[in-house]
Structure 1
Amino acid sequence: MLTRRSFLNLAAGLGLAATAGAARAEARLAVVATTGMIADAARRLGGDLVEVRALMGPGVDPHSYRQTRSDIVALANADLVLWHGLYLEAQMEAFLRDLAAEGRVVAVAESLPRELLRAHDDYADKFDPHVWMDPALWARVVLSVRDALIAARPEAEASFRANAEAHVAEIAALGDYARGILGTVPPASRVLVTAHDAFSYFGAAYGFEVVGIQGISTESEAGLRRVSELVELLVARDIRAVFVESSVSDRNIRALIEGAASRGHEVVIGGELYSDAMGAEGSYEGTYLGMIDHNATVIARALGGTVPAGGMAGKLVLN
């Protein structure tokens, strides 16, 4: 068990001096979030009242991520630690749960009602963590972030609530946009083939069959038999586009394309999707709204739907 004394001793050994509580009270709330999606929500809700650091940046796979020396320093200095939970940060989970006994640490997605979650392929007692793929579910997680901010800084409750209300309205508009453009994809083409099974909530929300080469976690392996089965699927159902992911190797996707080609069936990469991480920091795709706007627009366009050139907000630059 990671006690407060042992944790602070560890941080001190890395050259850290804990910030005094009195000084912290006048400063912005120091928030550390594991993923970019959670960090984005904290920034949108906290505004100028918070300073947010995301441990995992663009292209980083949260399933295999382990805390670094600089992460330990940031966690020790944080007023509030926000992590996803639902076994997303599998390699950090024990560390974060120990840390929760010593400070303000919240697994924001674990507030979701279990009846709204999808079963995990590999673990009978766990759930698919990729809930951000459904904006309606993510809006609930945003409210959990709101509640964590309020608990950490009660005097700013009114501001956090107002910002949350505005952001949830934006997320609802995003969901409506995605539903509209994805509804233009011909029903027979609503098959989404990706590197790993991160899009099940997306499929359930928008009526797509989702096929991942790997399982829910990128830690699972895709064998030759699995690739062969999916080549058969591509050929039999005349699927012409598959998708790579920004945080997962494209090796298996390219194996699918080559396998289909050997059968005389041409398959192209329909685009790169953001699955477990958002786009580049400072870009539109580096926000939750931009991430899902990009995904929905790229998928709809590649599978025969009708989409506006710049996506929902006219901010996308599609190749």
Structure 2
Amino acid sequence: MKKYIILFCTIVSLFSCKNEKQPNGKINIVTTTTMITDLVKNIGGEHINLQGLMGSGVDPHLYKASEGDVTKLSQADIIFYNGLHLEGKLVEVFEKMKDKETIAISDALDKSTLIGSEYFASNYDPHIWFDINYWKQATQFVVKTLSEAIPEQKTNFEANGTKYIEQLNTLKNKVETTINTLPKEQRILVTAHDAFNYFGKAFNFEVVGLQGLSTATEAGVQDVQKLSAFIIENKVKAIFVESSVPKRTIEALQASVKSKGHEVTIGGTLYSDALGDAGTIEGTYIGMFEYNVNTIVEALK
């Protein structure tokens, strides 16, 4: 705890240093989650210097700034983060930045359309990237922000944004076609935590997470027993591990179902709070989304 407080104070003190545009006209951008890094990369391209804080398999709910992050944050001109308390351990740092432009991607959205929760600190589900329409709005938001920061590149940012939104439209059509092969009564998605509610709302899935919206809260024995009864009652064929959440919780759920004389398979690993490895198809937002849908549909058929 003491080490985190010292690190926090160091970060805040460094934000008194104002940065200037690089000689090549680029500015320094820092992003938090891999989804946001991928989005900003698609819009900014070669016209920005981009660094992401989190990598593949990293849980943003539990992420703490490291000493290496201090330098990245102190040198940033713009910091893009998710907001809605997704980055639970970083949000206080962002809110205290006086000399940095900190941009919450969730500010692009109408809060009245978000999924709320009386059990979560922000009162909103932060997993907004699982609604493709929201991600299109986020794309437009990033285009606007970068265009204001580097006006001379506005045409390029707008062109990149248009191209990316076209790719998101193609993605939506493709995954809808795949999902439509799965009967509605089989669209029950059981995962490690409640990361897929926006996905469920968009594509007519009933979504049940073993943990809540944040992985900071651990599932107890009663949660496992309750969900195992639900799986048996609804004849759920498969449940899913998440890449950024330890798989032991889902394995415990599978064992609980088995102890009651029933079987449920682990249908695969889904990418929830982080993309796949950099350089892979799943390391992009579009590739991740398509992979998840294919994995879910194949396991539940």
Q: Offset of 1:162 from its aligned partner?
A: 0.7
Matched length = 293
CA distance in 2, matches of 1:199, 1:279: 17
Q: Is the 8 A contact 1:146 1:164 kept in 2?
A: yes
Instruction: Give the AA of the match of 2:238.
Output: A
Change (3 A) 1:198 1:9: closer
Q: Identify which of 255, 262, 266 aligns with 2:263.
A: 266
AA at the equivalent of 1:239: V
1:310 maps to what in 2?
none
**In structure 2, which of residues 49, 52, 59 is the aligned counterpart of residue 51 of structure 1?**
49
Aligned residue identity for 1:181: T
1:60 corresponds in structure 2 to 58
Task: State the TM-score, normalizing by the size of structure 2.
Answer: 0.93
Residue 28 of structure 1 deviates from its aligned partner by: 2.7
Shift of 1:163: 0.3
1:256 to 248, 253, 265: 253
Q: Which position in structure 1 is the counterpart of 2:240?
A: 243
- Relative to the length of structure 1, the TM-score reads 0.87
Aligned match of 1:290: 287
Q: Displacement of 1:255 after TM fit?
A: 0.8
Q: In structure 2, what residue type is equivalent to 1:290?
A: G
Task: Call closer, same or farther: CA 1:223–1:293 in 2, change over 3 Å.
Answer: same
Tell me the residue number matched to 1:154: 151
AA at the equivalent of 1:37: M
Aligned pairs (5 A) from 1:130-149: 130-149=127-146
User: How far apart are the structure 2 equivalents of 1:115 and 1:169?
Assistant: 26
Q: Does residue 1:21 correspond to 2:24, yes or no?
A: no
Q: SS of the residue aligned with 2:96?
A: helix
What SS does the corresponding residue of 2:64 show, helix, strand or coil?
Answer: coil
Match of 2:28 among 22, 27, 30: 30
Opposite residue 207 of structure 1, the aligned amino acid is N
Corresponding residue of 2:185: 188
Q: Residue 5 of structure 2 aligns with which residue?
A: none
1:86 to 84, 87, 90: 84
- The 5 A counterparts of 1:73-152 are 73-99=71-97, 101-123=98-120, 126-152=123-149
CA distance 1:53–1:259, shift in 2 (3 Å): same
Q: 1:8 to 1:245 in 2, by over 3 A?
A: closer
Shift of 1:173: 1.1
Residues 8/233 of structure 1: CA separation in 2 closer, same or farther (3 Å cut): closer
CA offsets 1:198-235 (integer angstroms, 9 cap, x no match): 00000000000000000000011211111001111111
2:252 and 2:194 mapped to 1: Cα distance?
17
Aligned partner (choices 166, 173, 176) of residue 173 of structure 2: 176
Tell me the distance in 2 between the aligned counterparts of 1:11 and 1:72.
10
1:41 aligned onto 2:39: yes
Q: Please, what is the CA RMSD of the aligned residues?
A: 1.9
5+ long unaligned stretches in structure 1: 13-17, 305-319
Cα deviation code 1:147-168 (max 9, x no counterpart): 2211211111110011001101
2: CA distance, partners of 1:95 / 1:173: 37
Which sits farther off after the overlay, 122-131 or 70-79? 122-131
